[in-house]
Amino acid sequence: MNTQIIAIANQKGGVGKTTTCANLGIGLAQSGKKVLLIDGDPQGSLTISLGNPQPDKLPFTLSDAMGRILMDEPIRPGEGILHHPEGVDLMPADIQLSGMEVSLVNAMSRETILRQYLDTLKGQYSHILIDCQPSLGMLTVNALAAANRVIIPVQAEYLPAKGLEQLLQTINKVRRQINPKLQIDGILLTMVDSRTNFAKEISALLRETYGSKIKVFTSEIPHSVRAKEISAEGKSIYAHDPNGKVAEGYKNLTKEVLKLEKQREKNRAGLSR
């Protein structure tokens, strides 16, 4: 199985990374894919939003897995992986992960510890999605070093240019120095308030500035109070409000992501002829 590893990254917080990771993951699972979600944020937002309100009480989390790799100790198959009723698996995170970030600073091959862990799981999943923390520290670099694709959620309410430039520089640096396979799938506009012109202006500006180099997804995720409510319930938007606009946005994104994959496979097949 050729595992697609997608990092959901933006060093700015509150842009919908966690919601995107959960709902794209569950959308892919509903399309028949075998999906593992990785919570790469010490705050454990993804872990909490998928029905685990106390991540620090879990017996095994991502920091334990990465710690085993660092110490060259074995990990049992599937150890610590949780199963969510909507068809995805989860490797949870808790606050211990911030200690792991400190440990990584002096570690050998510090940028590839997460990649080494994911290598042990690759054949079991068609897709692994990583919810990155809102910073460009060692954990995010590990996610970018492990991924072959990146999706960048951007909030439609403000001008993201400066932060986006920083992130793109980091992605380019990782691509040059550690992971030449890394590709940007696209920029995803989130929290779009269709009643205002502002979101339309941001969207047009993004397409104008980056459109020639980076895809801006045609799917947009609308702003919704409901979407915020559900993270306390441990359910996805599909279970909570399947006919709502946010669910529709994520269904469209899932289709777009799968279409992109097909296109790339086709291009690769064409090249290898």
pLDDT in tens, 218-268: 999 998 876 666 666 788 999 989 999 999 999 999 999 999 999 988 888
d(CA 6, CA 131): 9
Determine the distance from the C-alpha atom of residue 168 to the mean position of all C-alpha atoms in its chain, rounded to a whole number.
Answer: 16
**200-231 burial, b if ≥16 CB within 10 A, otherwise e?**
eebbeebeebbeeebbbbebbbbbbeebeebb
> Residue 116's closest CA among 149, 67, 80?
67
How many domains does the chain contain in total?
A: 1
CATH code (residue 103)? 3.40.50.300
Residue 150: HSE in the Cβ half-sphere, 13 Å Cα cutoff: 30
Per-residue CA distances from 13 to 33, 163, 171 (Å): 28, 11, 18
Per-residue pLDDT of the chain (273 residues; tens, 9 = 90+): 789 999 999 988 889 999 999 999 999 999 999 999 999 999 999 999 999 999 999 999 999 999 999 999 999 999 999 999 999 999 999 999 999 989 998 888 899 999 999 999 989 999 999 999 999 999 999 999 999 999 999 987 666 666 788 899 999 999 999 999 999 999 999 988 878 887 788 888 888 888 888 999 999 999 887 666 666 678 899 998 999 999 999 999 999 999 999 998 888 888 766
Which structural domain, as residue segments, surrounds residue 195? Answer: 4-272
Full DSSP string of 1-60: ---EEEEE--SSSSSSHHHHHHHHHHHHHHTT--EEEEEE-TT-HHHHHTT-S-GGGSS-
d(CA 47, CA 40): 10
